[in-house]
Amino acid sequence: MPKMKTKKAVKKRIKITGGGKLKRAKAGKRHLMRKKNSKRRSDLKESSYVSDAESKRVKKMLPYG
């Protein structure tokens, strides 16, 4: 049986925590930052987790994670 392939795009964007959760960066922080208020900008700095509904699908993309 050949080795399973990891989806490289997912590997670059998501880290697996010690507890098995999937940690990701928030979207919407690349450009047009001037029009976003400071509270919103600071909230975007924090990382968040992949939802439970999506995590099963994402974990299939990271077979050795």
pLDDT one-digit tens code per residue, 36-53: 999 999 999 999 999 999
Q: How far is CA 35 from CA 4, 15, 51, in A?
A: 44, 30, 28
- Look up the pTM and report it: 0.83
Residue 58 makes CB contacts below 8 A (sequence gap 6+) with 10, 14, 22, 50
Q: Which CATH architecture has domain 8-29+37-61?
A: Irregular (4.10)
H-state helical runs in 14-51? 38-45
What percent of the chain has pLDDT above 90? 97
pLDDT-derived band at 65 (thresholds 50, 70, 90) equals confident
Identify the CA nearest to 25 among candidates 6, 39, 12: 12
Please give the mean pLDDT across all residues of the chain: 96
Going from N- to C-terminal start, the domains of the chain cover 8-29+37-61
pLDDT on residue 47: 97
